[in-house]
Structure 1
Amino acid sequence: MTFVILACALPQYKLWWPFFVVLFYIFAPIPTLMARRYSDHSGSSNSCLEAAIFITMGIIVSSYGLPIVLTRASVIESGACYLTLAGNTVVYATLIGYFLTFDQDDSDYNMW
């Protein structure tokens, strides 16, 4: 989040358009969480989980595409784009780490 806030608040940028990627951060894990909640863990292919992963990947690609499109349209500067892309990478790496840590069956942290 620090990179995204810096992309918006630094004096040379002064535009808050890159902050819209925060909506993608909120919406990205929701389809996967819902599909894992209502799916059976039988090991076979689950179309609900695959559709949720597809929607999640679409949200993630959109969050990387938004600052690039804003830069190409000359709405934000390239430095703000790079900071936003770095923030995206950190946030999504954290989400992946969360899902990998708390989805293990042998962990005591698996409360859900």
Structure 2
Amino acid sequence: MASVRSLIGLAFFAAIGVLMLLLGCALYNNWYPMFILIFYALSPAPCLIARHFTDDLEPSDSPLWDLCIFLTTGIVVSAFGLPTVFAHQGIIGIPSCVLIMAGNFVVFCTILAYFMLFTGDDQFSFATWI
């Protein structure tokens, strides 16, 4: 099981990613990219729901798990696509888009690391959360 130090490290990297998003908005005085926070909140939801309804320990054979991966991929791609569309339409500038993309990368890698560290064969389960 992961230690408290790894949890503090994950929180630090998540804060760095959100800071990059805030800088991408504040430095260029355009707050439309803050809608990406919705994608940050939605990205772990399909996996949490799939873990709640999957009984076996290895969920790779479940169609529900495949749907979970598909929905999570759609959410992550949308989070990277929204600033690209904003930059293409001239709503935000290219430097703002680069900062937001870097923040997206850091936050989503942190979310992935969290799920890799805190999902194991221990007695704690995400099914108790829902």
The TM-score with structure 1 as length reference comes to 0.90
- Tell me: higher relative CO, structure 1 or 2? Use CA pairs within 8 A at least 6 residues apart: 2
Question: Take 1:30 and 1:98, find their aligned partners in 2: how far apart are those partners?
Answer: 13
1:62 equivalent in structure 2: 78
Residue 3 of structure 1 corresponds to 20
Residues 67-86 of structure 1 aligned to structure 2 (within 5 Å): 67-86=83-102
Q: Which residue of structure 2 lines up, in the alignment, with residue 104 of structure 1? A: 120
In structure 2, runs of 5+ residues without a counterpart are: 1-17, 126-130
Deviating above 6 A after TM superposition, structure 1's stretches of 4 or more consecutive aligned residues are none
Unaligned runs of 5+ in 1: none
Of stretches 43-52 and 71-80 in structure 1, the one that deviates more from structure 2 is: 43-52
Aligned match of 2:36: 21
- The number of aligned residues is 107
Which residue does the alignment assign to 2:45?
Answer: 30
Q: Does 1:39 align with 2:54?
A: yes
The Cα shift of 1:90 comes to: 0.6
Q: Secondary structure at the match of 1:40?
A: coil
**CA offsets, 1:34-83, max 9 Å, x none?**
10111022546100111011001000000000000000000000011001
Per the normalisation by structure 2, the TM-score is 0.78
Task: Answer 1 or 2: which has greater helix percent.
Answer: 2
